[in-house]
A and B are shown apart, each in its own frame.
Chain A
């Protein structure tokens, strides 16, 4: 039986008073991650928005043990933590029954770009670590610069639309696909989560934590200033991402891909794009290009699943 909203514990481990922006998607994700960990986890955090906003010395929002070392190494630090607990338990220095779930958290910059090598190393070595990327699709901590996860057509400060770059972000291709990265590393669990589908999000984090070995979770994480959306549009834009097929909630386990939020009839991608200021400069041609990209992506996922779980666009 799937998890219901009242199954999510009330106890908080990610405290208020942090300096995240109003409406920050990552805040919702971190809050539920901390809840899922409760008193049995350790977080290794990469440099990024969440890191600087939640640990402003001498304050901290974290009710779970938490460490930040650098930008590109959350996965390597987590590897060290996991290895340490493994050997300390074996030697009887730490109670061998003690449950310690190690989690690495990084943004898209710390995952798709600078942290990719450390992530790959950790997945390949098979550490019992959950790696969670909160993907806001640009370098938001430094003020909205393009990352390896920035979608085609998105305005950022380093991909401004202009005479030579009519659509801002210039590369017409789907970004690095973490599902394929997970598959290539032969890991036991991969999932995508989205703050508009909170029970699905929570359930997947819990499930990932219960599986031994390296796990990867890719979280859709709206950024209100970076995406040029209203503070109260975070959930709306998250839901539209799923309803348009821009984002697909799925799970990859034991070689099988499963879509957890089927969308029988998709909305046109324009609805998702038009509520965000970062896509406001796009013309009809660009929107059609993006629609085509999304169609191709949906088709690929449907093919992986083996049937049409994401339906056609209905205008």
Chain B
């Protein structure tokens, strides 16, 4: 155990413990399932003196992010968390937080969007916000949720980045599932991610204007600078991950692959079901089905370099937990993958699978169905579909 503390923690509590030890100054929160346990735990930490922070009991998610922006602009380290409708109520502010370059960290506990109302997990909320200029880190287990919340502050507050970061965990599957989580020493966390004094904050002694009117002469440059900051964040993420490894021994790449060396095809997934798909890939291997697996950890900025791996295959599959309405691929993630391949002139074809919408139970058989189907396509046993494959839906 090398003297480390291992605690049984839910995904929500993993985030709360990280936030506590990061000495966050302001927490502005509004309850929404399945996120609520994060802000409840943080309220508890404040109530019993384990965390010295101001807790703003805002009256909506819109105000939660607004207050976070105000606090961040004043130089405070801030945190908020949300899910689903809460995130889309923040939607207006998501663009403003990134546009104003506020280093805010938010936990997004992924959940479907209304209507019909559904509190269970999929990636509709995450995907609906993937063009907002935020860095998006998708975790696959509770240890990652804990570790990457710590890394998120380090990344967010880097002066060359200064961007808001979303740390994503899957609703219920992670948020409410208890796993052993290795907790780090508070002082070590603080020396890894110390508070950075920002150059520009709202200070009566040094008046500045934030959020001015940008006319056509200027607006474009601001937006391009935001694009470039996100581009820089890709390398910065790798640097932060490397530093994290030197501090805590665990390492996180922007994407991770399993069984790529001898595989006939590759399946790309995102989030907590990585484990399910990994199990399916292993089981399929016993049948002689050689499928590799890739999990995307950094959704934004998108890891374009995956094209190098993907273009070695004739077919790759993408299993997405959200429906990209009105598009041929039906999948946000598949569209991103297609773009990466297309830019590089690759002829690799992408098969789009949709699964687990609105918390539809994902069984090992469902994952196995995808893995087997993808392999058969790659072996030309089956015709590749031209439409998304909706796995587990009743027609």
Hey, which bits of chain A sit against chain B, CB under 8 A? 37, 39-42, 44-45, 51-52, 55-58, 60, 62-70, 72-73, 75-81, 83-88, 90-91, 93-94, 98-100, 117-118, 120-121, 124-125
Known: A55-B209, A70-B92, A84-B54. A121 touches B204 (CB 8 A): no
Q: Are A79 and B67 in contact (CB under 8 A)?
A: yes
Q: Is B28 an interface residue (CB 8 A)?
A: yes
With a CB–CB cut-off of 8 A, which chain A residues contact B71? 80-81, 83-84
Known: A39-B204, A42-B204, A57-B218. A84 touches B66 (CB 8 A): no
- Residue-wise, chain B 43-76 has the 8 Å CB interface mask toward A (1 for contact) of 0000000001110111110111011111111111
Q: Which residue in chain B gives the minimum CB-CB distance to A42? A: B202
Q: Are A39 and B25 in contact (CB under 8 A)?
A: no
Cα separation A187 to B215 with both chains bound (whole Å): 39
- Residue-wise, chain B 22-42 has the 8 Å CB interface mask toward A (1 for contact) of 000110100000000000000
Cα separation A87 to B58 with both chains bound (whole Å): 17
**Interface majority SS on B: helix, strand, loop or mixed?**
mixed
Cα separation A138 to B340 with both chains bound (whole Å): 49
Which B residues between 216 and 239 are near A, CB-CB below 8 angstroms? Answer: 218
Cα separation A166 to B47 with both chains bound (whole Å): 59
Q: Are A118 and B202 in contact (CB under 8 A)?
A: no
Task: Count how many chain B residues have C-beta atoms less than 8 Å from C-beta atoms of the other chain.
Answer: 46
Cα separation A55 to B207 with both chains bound (whole Å): 13
Q: Are B52 and A80 in contact (CB under 8 A)?
A: no
Q: Is B286 an interface residue (CB 8 A)?
A: no
Cα separation A63 to B68 with both chains bound (whole Å): 24
With a CB–CB cut-off of 8 A, which chain B residues contact A72? 62
With a CB–CB cut-off of 8 A, which chain A residues contact B343? none
Q: Are B59 and A58 in contact (CB under 8 A)?
A: no
Q: Which residue in chain A gives the minimum CB-CB distance to B202? A: A65
Known: A87-B25, A91-B25. A69 touches B207 (CB 8 A): no
With a CB–CB cut-off of 8 A, which chain B residues contact A55? 209, 211-213
Q: Are B204 and A118 in contact (CB under 8 A)?
A: no
**Residue of A58, A63, A72, A83 with most chain B CB atoms under a 10 A cut-off:** A83
**Residue of A68, A70, A81, A94 with most chain B CB atoms under a 10 A cut-off:** A81
Which of A39, A63, A76, A91 is the one whose CB lies under 8 Å from B70?
Answer: A76
B77 CB to closest chain A CB (Å) equals 9
Q: Shortest 9 CB-CB distances between A and B: which pairs? A: A80-B70, A121-B59, A80-B67, A76-B63, A76-B66, A68-B211, A84-B74, A84-B76, A73-B66
